[in-house]
Amino acid sequence: MSIILPLPIADGRVAPYTLSTAAHFPDRTTRPLNRVALAAAHVVADPAADIDPWLKAAPDWERTIAYRTYLWDLGLGVAEAMDTAQRGMGLDWPMALELIKRSVAAARGRDGAVVFSGAGTDHLDLAGTQSVDKVIDAYEDQIAAIEAVGGRIILMASRALVRVAQSADDYARVYSQVLRQVREPVIIHWLGDMFDPALAGYWGTRDLDQAMDTALAIINGSAAKIDGVKISLLDKDREIAMRRRLDKRVKMYTGDDFNYAELIAGDSQGYSHALLGIFDAIAPAAAAGLSSLASGDLARFHAILAPTVPLSRHIFRAPTQFYKTGVVFMAYLNGHQDHFTMVGGQESARSTLHLAELFRLADKAGLFRDPERAAARMKAVMAVRGVTG
């Protein structure tokens, strides 16, 4: 089977691309995994909603929750209402809370269905936020709302805190006060500015070594209240260095969508668990690889995941904040939704050449559940973008 795709050079030329054979990864995982693996799941938009998509979100709740069920069946947990779901970039706090309520309710009673949900400060008016106390109040409000519906907490990085903090001491004050109040241990999320430019200088400095020292002091000082820390800096050496300095009670969750395979496999001094946006797009391969790792077959783990890494690096290439387009495009190609419409109109955030290369890389990794359907949908998208043949 072949399809006409533009060549990866911007001169208008096209060429036939012949698809590979699908890998046929299992739809369910039955064995326990030896890594905690959370997929930061996307929201399926309602393409028929009468809204201005750049200004307002309209989720298709049924398809959105069905996607989470698919992830749970594969043995993956769900990191809910994170930036993959367009949190703070299309999905406001009231709608995020509605998503969390529905996701936690859907997980209730399902054996092994794990949900952690993002609590942040995104309901604050940044221009009107003048004090650290306001940031603390905002965190407390969202944590209380999530815990009220039975949710576990991922403590998201705060744009407002970057705006008002005067020093590392302000970060220590905010986190120590908030952590004292949580009902169950939380996951701390350190999100780099390549994902959200408004978070530049988090932990009180742009010097990443100093920032790590501050983060570790806060995390290790409240270790009993912390399940783990997710670091999303796309820097494997910094992640390993931080992992080795964490209190032994605190897990490291890799957020490195460039180097996740080797970080999850680990070394003689430890390993990372996973909280990844790319696990949304490669969920069956991720589950199959983790199952192999749990059975002691490290070679099979790498054989499955290694071909997914070029795809992930492509999806998360700069500007990294537009990676959601690739994640949702994969869901469309694989039949999890019937359209390529996104929250915030983000289907337009990547070029035709970018989508064509994504298709080639996904095919080479064996990630199309039904190559014929994927090819037909890709052909339709290319036709809309003026690529025919």
Asked if residue 296 belongs to a domain, the reply is yes
Instruction: Report whether pLDDT(10) > 80.
Output: no
Q: Return phi, psi of residue 6, to 5°.
A: -70, 145
pLDDT for the residue 30? 85
pLDDT for the residue 276? 98
Asked if residue 302 belongs to a domain, the reply is yes
pLDDT for the residue 21? 87
Q: Domain of residue 83: give its range.
A: 29-351
* Identity of residue 143: I
pLDDT for the residue 370? 95
Q: Return phi, psi of residue 249, to 5°.
A: -80, -10
Number of domains comprising the chain:
1
Q: What is the CATH number of the domain that holds 156?
A: 3.20.20.70
How many Cα atoms within 13 Å fall on the side-chain side of residue 318? Answer: 6
Q: How high is the mean pLDDT of the chain?
A: 96
Asked if residue 366 belongs to a domain, the reply is no
pLDDT for the residue 176? 97
Helix (H, G, I), strand (E, B) or coil at 217: helix
pLDDT for the residue 388? 83
pLDDT for the residue 8? 86
Which stretches of the chain are assigned E, i.e. beta strand?
2-6, 14-18, 37-40, 77-80, 115-119, 152-155, 186-191, 226-232, 251-254, 273-276
Asked if residue 247 belongs to a domain, the reply is yes
Q: Return phi, psi of residue 64, to 5°.
A: -65, -45
Asked if residue 256 belongs to a domain, the reply is yes
Instruction: Report whether pLDDT(389) > 80.
Output: no
pLDDT digits (tens, 9 = 90+) for 297-322: 999 999 999 999 999 999 999 999 99
Alpha-helical regions (H) of 249-351: 260-265, 278-281, 283-294, 298-305, 308-315, 323-333
Read off the pTM: 0.95
- The label of the residue with tokens 């931080």 reads 242
Asked if residue 289 belongs to a domain, the reply is yes
pLDDT for the residue 22? 86
Cβ atoms 3, 378 nearer than 8 A: yes
Cβ atoms 158, 120 nearer than 8 A: yes
pLDDT for the residue 147? 98
Instruction: Report whether pLDDT(182) > 90.
Output: yes
Asked if residue 74 belongs to a domain, the reply is yes
* Identity of residue 29: T
Asked if residue 243 belongs to a domain, the reply is yes
Q: How does residue 122 score in pLDDT terms, banded at 50, 70 and 90?
A: very high
pLDDT digits (tens, 9 = 90+) for 202-257: 999 999 999 999 999 999 999 999 999 999 999 999 999 999 999 999 999 999 99
